[in-house]
Amino acid sequence: MVEPDPEPAAFGAGQRLGAPETLGISTLDPGHRPPAMPPGRRVTIRVRMLDDTEELFEISQKASGKVLFDLVCSHMNLIEGDYFGLEFQNHQKMMVWLDHIKPIIKQLRRPKHMILRFAVKFFPPDHAQLLEELTRYLFALQIKQDVSCGRLTCNDTSAALMVSNIIQSEIGDFEESQCRSHLLNNNYIPDQMPLIDKIMEFHSKHIGQTPAESDYQLLEVARRLEMYGIRLHPAKDREGTRLSLAVAHTGVLVFQGHTKINAFNWSKVRKLSFKRKRFLIKLRPDLNSSYQDTLEFLMASRDCCKVFWKICVEYHAFFRLFEEPKPKPKPVLFTRGSSFRFSGRTQKQLIDYVRESEFKKIPFERKHSRVQYNSRLSPLPSPRHHEVPTEVSNSAQCRQFFIAFIHRITEHSPYLSASSGHPHGMFNGQRPLELCGHSPDGRQPSPLTSPLLNDACSVRTDDEDEVRRKRFPTDRAYFIAKELLTTERTYVKDLEVVTSFQNALGQDEETPDSLKKTIFSTFEPLHRFHTGFLREVEQRLALWEGRSNAHIKGDYQRIGDVMLKNFQGLKPLTASLHKQSEALLELEKACRSSRRLEGLCREFELQKVCYIPLNVFILRPLHRLIHYKQILERLCKHYPATHVDFRDCRAALADVSEVVDQLQGSLIKMENFQKLLELKKDLIGPDNLVVPGREFIRLGCLSKLSGKGLQQRMFFLFNDVILYTSRGMTATNQFKVHGQLPLHGMTIRESEDEWGVPHAFTLVGQQQSVVVAASSRTEMEKWVEDIRMAIEMAQTSNGPSSDLLSNNLTDSKCPEDSAAEAESEDDITASQTSLERPAPHRGNTMVHVCWHRNTSVSMVDFSLAVENQLSGNLLRKFKNSNGWQKLWVVFTNFSLFFYKSHQDDYPLASLPLLGYSVTIPSESENIHKDYVFKLHFKSHIYYFRSESEYTFERWLEVIRSATVPSGGAQVLNNKESHPH
């Protein structure tokens, strides 16, 4: 079916897929040995893989089917093995799946002469749920087989498009003579000859598409076909009409030929059973339905009924249950009926497992592909790079990469261009790992991890730090002043980012002069002022700490006088801060009119120094004034009225409060405007998201109930409309909008009982109703409260019209949301246009964090995050490590950013905190130190030590603001919408 490889391979499929024979690791249980083999006679079993090679496995006849299956997955280095199974032809000539619970000897009569087929067993509704590139590659091989044998039927356009993606993966970019020759020598579909020209036409549009992208696009086309993942089982109805039964993630399906004529959703099915040749479907009572309570189908034999019933049981458990069902207790006297049950992880358990897995997968090689392909350079990010924090424990590898890192630093400027590192695998444009923690294959680990926090590479501290700290003043006012110092250091670094950006703008001829003037006139003077202010604060703190004899007089154990003097000089510079919205707006307009300028901004935002969105840096001066006010309020609260520093602090507080009050209205509008601009970059679909009057309220994950079951979706709530989206795996990392729900006339009703889904509620619109489910009762209450409040606003205000969103969303419907939608030519052409190479995009904004942590964030949370920012040194330790590592830590945008010291220009690692909990270690954890707090997310635990009671309280305060998001919504008045 394919041309032979240029060089004959002398190794097995497992090695081709990247698993050396000596690996000795079962990927189904990372870090452990392959499954234990029970004693007994050994037998060699032959397994045919999806790439048509055959592998031999030696196993005890007494071993269970799961032992063999785990060996096969371990051999391929396959983590998401639960989607697959081993099938074989039993003694009755029927294809059945190997039972994981039963011993091999009870299932295979003549194992030496039998060939088992490794194949896809469970087809999920959305291949974005497949988190490993290897898994998607194996699914692509399965689709290739199904298309070739005629099992996956489709029209000519779909067939040609799928073949074009297959050959793009196998032979690379289009070259006419090579492509035609390849198609003449290889048959991918029945009756291929008439379609060769159409296949070549599609292939010519895939130039630059990597094998991984080709797999993704192949699955994108295949999943829209009605016969995707369908295995037909012949049957008859009561009238004797020939039919076929099938099972999918949605429920039991009925086909006549290759046309689906009926579907019984799991929520409507009360019981599935069989009695001799009769297969029975018992439905829940429904007054609106004309169906009988029990439907009966006649199959060829009792064994046929039982085989299909088993598959239905497994499909239902895998896609609908949260956990693997527990075995029923064995009856004492006699049994009645089959004892078969589903064995293995459910899809939910599997997804959670892969996301939490600390296993570092080595790359695999594609047998069929001749394309020279490096997975590190692929514009298609591996979804496993977006998971929760992992630890790296190989100290030798860490030391090796630490040396390489130091070498890179000496060769390159810290202000690296976007081309020096691929943007994917970043959090807000900043790579989470540079110091250590590279996996053996050189891949970048998860952008939601903090690999710098690695015990093997840490610079540990000992009790000398405590001795040194004890020399410092213990007065609370000193630590408040020190917070001013540490946060001012971060603020000056942030101003340097903006001045670097304005220097880049100044060198670009297409940048409008008005834009240059707006930014230059604000940030250059601010940077000069705060550099001087920081120098004064550092000098005062050095005197306060007693690093000279001047402190003996006691005149320098205060900070109010320094702040008062400088704030009087700061006032003229803050007079124009209310015009920051003009700078944001002008920058946005300039980028829309100049592709070159847009590219310049995007490249700058992908640099390591730009560790948060660029627009946030532009609003930093406004946020900093709020921080000054908070610090002065703490000092005034701490000091008695007779203290020498009280009068200066109170006067400085009055000055800064006056400025903050004047700018408060502008700040609210600009934060909303900035958030809309940020969301615009994350979304594909809306044409006019940023319009006057539109206010952002909440974004986050909900499961949407459709004909294909519950599917994870990102929802975006505004004051006039709700958008729901799914995350694509294209180079942009953006979310594709599937539909919109106008809020005008919408109602909400809780519907857990109605659908049998926990935390479910229904959004009832004038034209469409949508059933969604939250991840928890708390999340549901947040969404319901915010949506109800937004509905009330939409009824009483003259906000923006939802028609301003793109026209292709007006029907509020996506093909995958239809329960029984036939394949259409429009879907095929849509798949083609999505293959155009878009520009890179920051891979992990807060939207992505919410997607992977299955949570939500409101505009109130974003506003609180502005106030809750902190910088300073912390000591870090892992759960099982001994020493403490000293790090410079910056908390902003719901994340901790880690540096070796405050002089560093960019963070070396980051840790988004949404979903984490912060607590105090218990006695049993044996953390015998003061001022320690614990960060905990599922299996990931970090301990941090602060230097004083005050800093300990402050870190807890700001981190809790990120780990315990608020529930209520706080939306602007219509008069205070952003400018446009």
Q: What is the CATH number of the domain that holds 276?
A: 2.30.29.30
Task: Looking at mean pLDDT, say which of 412-416, 682-686, 802-806, 890-894 comes out highest.
Answer: 890-894
Q: Are residues 697 and 770 in the same domain?
A: yes
Residue 604: exposure state from Cβ atoms within 10 A (0-12, 13-18, ≥19): buried
pLDDT tens for residues 920-934?
Answer: 998 888 888 899 999
Cβ(116)–Cβ(45) below 8 Å: yes
The helix/strand/coil state of 312 is helix
At 362 the pLDDT is: 54
Cβ(718)–Cβ(739) below 8 Å: no
Asked if residue 363 belongs to a domain, the reply is no
Cβ(117)–Cβ(86) below 8 Å: yes
Please give the Cα distance from 604 to 428 (Å, whole number): 12
At 286 the pLDDT is: 67
Asked if residue 424 belongs to a domain, the reply is no
Q: Are residues 559 and 500 in the same domain?
A: yes
Asked if residue 385 belongs to a domain, the reply is no
Cβ(182)–Cβ(167) below 8 Å: yes
Domain end position, chosen among 626, 653, 682:
682
Higher pLDDT, 802 or 497: 497
Higher pLDDT, 215 or 393: 215
Please give the Cα distance from 447 to 444 (Å, whole number): 8
Q: Are residues 641 and 695 in the same domain?
A: no
Q: Are residues 749 and 635 in the same domain?
A: no
pLDDT tens for residues 902-961?
Answer: 999 989 888 999 889 999 998 888 888 899 999 998 888 899 999 999 999 999 999 998
Q: Are residues 725 and 623 in the same domain?
A: no
Question: What's the one-letter identity of residue 745?
Answer: G
Mean pLDDT score, 855-877? 90
pLDDT-based confidence at residue 82 (cuts at 50, 70, 90)? very high
pLDDT-based confidence at residue 454 (cuts at 50, 70, 90)? very low
pLDDT tens for residues 272-296?
Answer: 888 888 999 988 876 555 556 788 9
The helix/strand/coil state of 761 is strand
Reply yes or no on whether the pLDDT at 57 is more than 80. yes
pLDDT tens for residues 98-157?
Answer: 988 888 888 887 887 789 999 999 999 888 888 888 999 999 999 999 999 989 999 999
Strands 115-120 and 42-48: parallel
Reply yes or no on whether the pLDDT at 714 is more than 90. yes
Reply yes or no on whether the pLDDT at 396 is more than 90. no
At 9 the pLDDT is: 36
- Two structure tokens written together for 185: 């020598």
Give percent of the chain with pLDDT exceeding 70. Answer: 73
Give percent of the chain with pLDDT exceeding 90. Answer: 34
At 805 the pLDDT is: 56
pLDDT-based confidence at residue 554 (cuts at 50, 70, 90)? low
Asked if residue 596 belongs to a domain, the reply is yes
Question: What's the one-letter identity of residue 699?
Answer: L
pLDDT tens for residues 793-843?
Answer: 888 776 665 554 554 444 444 444 433 333 333 333 333 333 333 444 455
pLDDT tens for residues 764-782?
Answer: 988 888 999 998 889 999 9
Q: What H or E segment, with its residue span, contains residue 108?
A: none
Cβ(889)–Cβ(897) below 8 Å: yes
Asked if residue 904 belongs to a domain, the reply is yes
| Chain mean pLDDT for the chain | 77
pLDDT-based confidence at residue 182 (cuts at 50, 70, 90)? very high
CATH of residue 63's domain is 1.20.80.10
Q: Are residues 94 and 182 in the same domain?
A: yes
Please give the Cα distance from 133 to 155 (Å, whole number): 28
Reply yes or no on whether the pLDDT at 303 is more than 50. yes
Please give the Cα distance from 862 to 691 (Å, whole number): 20
Higher pLDDT, 550 or 229: 229
Q: Are residues 521 and 640 in the same domain?
A: yes
pLDDT-based confidence at residue 728 (cuts at 50, 70, 90)? low
pLDDT-based confidence at residue 595 (cuts at 50, 70, 90)? confident
Residue 507: exposure state from Cβ atoms within 10 A (0-12, 13-18, ≥19): exposed
At 830 the pLDDT is: 36
Question: What's the one-letter identity of residue 56?
Answer: L
| Number of domains present in the structure of the chain | 5
Q: Are residues 158 and 90 in the same domain?
A: yes
Name the least confident of 47-51, 182-186, 337-341, 414-418: 414-418
Please give the Cα distance from 529 to 537 (Å, whole number): 12
Phi, psi of 165 (to 5 degrees): -70, -35
pLDDT-based confidence at residue 379 (cuts at 50, 70, 90)? very low
Q: Are residues 154 and 265 in the same domain?
A: no
At 24 the pLDDT is: 29
Please give the Cα distance from 229 to 534 (Å, whole number): 64
At 500 the pLDDT is: 87
Name the least confident of 238-252, 273-287, 439-453: 439-453
Q: What number of CA atoms fall less than 13 Å from residue 680's CA on the CB side?
A: 17
- Give the Cα-Cα-Cα angle 229, 231, 234 (nearest 5 degrees): 155
Domain end position, chosen among 796, 817, 838:
796
Domain end position, chosen among 754, 778, 796:
796
Please give the Cα distance from 831 to 788 (Å, whole number): 36
At 472 the pLDDT is: 64
Closest by CA to 225, choosing from 815, 809, 812, 707, is: 815
At 112 the pLDDT is: 78
Q: Are residues 302 and 258 in the same domain?
A: yes
pLDDT tens for residues 200-211?
Answer: 999 999 988 889
Name the least confident of 226-230, 385-389, 604-608: 385-389
Higher pLDDT, 47 or 114: 47
Sheet holding 84-89, edge to edge: 54-60, 42-48, 115-120, 84-89, 95-97
- Two structure tokens written together for 472: 């410092």
At 11 the pLDDT is: 34
At 585 the pLDDT is: 79
Q: Are residues 514 and 657 in the same domain?
A: yes
CATH of residue 499's domain is 1.20.900.10
Q: Return contacts of 234-243, CB within 8 angstroms, 24+ apart.
A: 234/299, 234/300, 234/304, 235/279, 235/297, 235/298, 235/299, 236/297, 236/298, 236/299, 237/296, 237/297, 237/298, 238/296, 238/298, 243/297
Name the least confident of 411-420, 534-543, 567-576: 411-420
Reply yes or no on whether the pLDDT at 496 is more than 80. yes
At 856 the pLDDT is: 92
Residue 641: exposure state from Cβ atoms within 10 A (0-12, 13-18, ≥19): exposed
Asked if residue 541 belongs to a domain, the reply is yes
Question: What's the one-letter identity of residue 695?
Answer: E
The phi-psi region of residue 20 (left if phi > 0; otherwise alpha if psi is between -120 and 50; otherwise beta) is beta
Asked if residue 357 belongs to a domain, the reply is no
Q: Are residues 714 and 625 in the same domain?
A: no
Asked if residue 281 belongs to a domain, the reply is yes
Q: What is the DSSP letter of 230?
A: -
Domain that holds residue 157: 46-223
Please give the Cα distance from 286 to 293 (Å, whole number): 9
Higher pLDDT, 436 or 583: 583
